[in-house]
Amino acid sequence: MKLVKLLANLGYGSRKEVQRFIKAGAVTDDTGEVLREASNTPHERILFRGEPLDPPSPLVIIMNKPDDYTCSTEDPGDTIYDLLPARFSCRNPGLNPIGRLDKDTTGLLLMTDDGKLLHRIIHPKSNCLKRYHAVLDRPLNGSEGEIFASGEMLLRSEDRPLLPAQLEVLNEKEAIVTLHEGRYHQVRRMFAAVDNHVLTLKRISIGGLALPDDLEEGEWRPLTDAELALVFDHP
C-alpha cells in the first residue's frame, strides 16, 4: 500500500494532510531516514513524528471497559471511543465493538475492524461463552441456578426462552453467570426475574480468553494471535 494511503487509512489525516506531513519530514524509518511518498518501507519500520505507526488492519484490541461509558457514538456522554487515540475514529475500516457492554457494565470488551471476525465471534454457532461477575443487592435464595439452567426461562416482553445459562455461586450476594447468547441487559433481567437486583456487573471472559490482570480499567492494547485463538476455546 502506498505511504499516503496507508497513513490516511490509519487516521493520521486526510490524504492531503498526510502529503504535507511527508513533505515536512514527519515520516521516517526506524533509522531516522526521511521517507517520501514513493518509499516502500515495511509498516513495522515506519515512524510518524518519532513514534511507531498504529497496528494495521485487520486489528483486534482488548479493552477493560470502565463504568459509565457507552459503546455507541449515538449515545450521549462518554463512549469507549474516547478511551482510544482520537485518530482511531478516522481509521478506514473503522473499529467496532464485538458485542456491546451496557453503560454500567465493566470489563472485557473486544473491538475490531474485521467484519467477518466480528460476526464469527457473535454468531451463536461459535459458542463463544461469555462469563460475568455479578454483585447482587439481595442474598441468593438457592433456586436461581436451576431456573437459569432450565432452558425455559422467559424474560419480560419476550416469547422465546433463554438458552440454558450456568450460575456459579461465590457467596450469598456474588455469582458468576455464563451465557451462550447476549440479549439486551440479559444478566440484569435474569436476576430481576428472580426478584433480585444487580448492583455491579463485570464481563470477565469470552470463550477461553480472560480479562488480563494487568489491564487496568480504561486501558486497551492490541490482542495477540494467541489470545484471539483463546476466544474460540470452550473452557
Task: Give the pLDDT mean for 205-211.
Answer: 96
pLDDT, tens digit, 9 for 90 and up, residues 25-70: 999 999 999 999 999 999 999 999 999 999 999 999 999 999 999 9
Quick one: 39 exposed, middle or buried, by C-beta within 10 A (0-12, 13-18, 19+)? Answer: middle
Q: Is residue 124 reached through a cis peptide bond, with omega within 30 degrees of 0 on the bond before it?
A: no
Query: Whats the size of the chain, residue-wise?
Result: 235
What local confidence, expressed as pLDDT, does residue 140 receive? 98
Neighbours of 131 (CB within 10 A): 21
DSSP state for residue 79 in the 8-state scheme: B
Task: Give the pLDDT mean for 152-169.
Answer: 95
pTM score of the predicted model: 0.93
Average of per-residue pLDDT values in the chain = 95
pLDDT at 1 over 80: no
Could you give the residue numbers annotated as active site? Answer: 102
pLDDT at 234 over 80: no
DSSP 3-state assignment of 124? helix
Q: Which grid cell sits at 108? A: 472485557
* Cα–Cα–Cα angle for 133, 139, 143, rounded to 5 degrees: 85
pLDDT at 127 over 90: no
pLDDT at 76 over 90: no
Sheet of 51-52, strands arranged across: 27-29, 46-48, 51-52
Task: Give the pLDDT mean for 4-20.
Answer: 97
Which residue segments constitute the domains of the chain, with CATH numbers given?
3-52 (3.10.290.10), 60-124+209-231 (3.30.70.580), 129-206 (3.30.70.1560)
What local confidence, expressed as pLDDT, does residue 235 receive? 61
pLDDT at 10 over 70: yes
Task: Give the pLDDT mean for 198-226.
Answer: 97
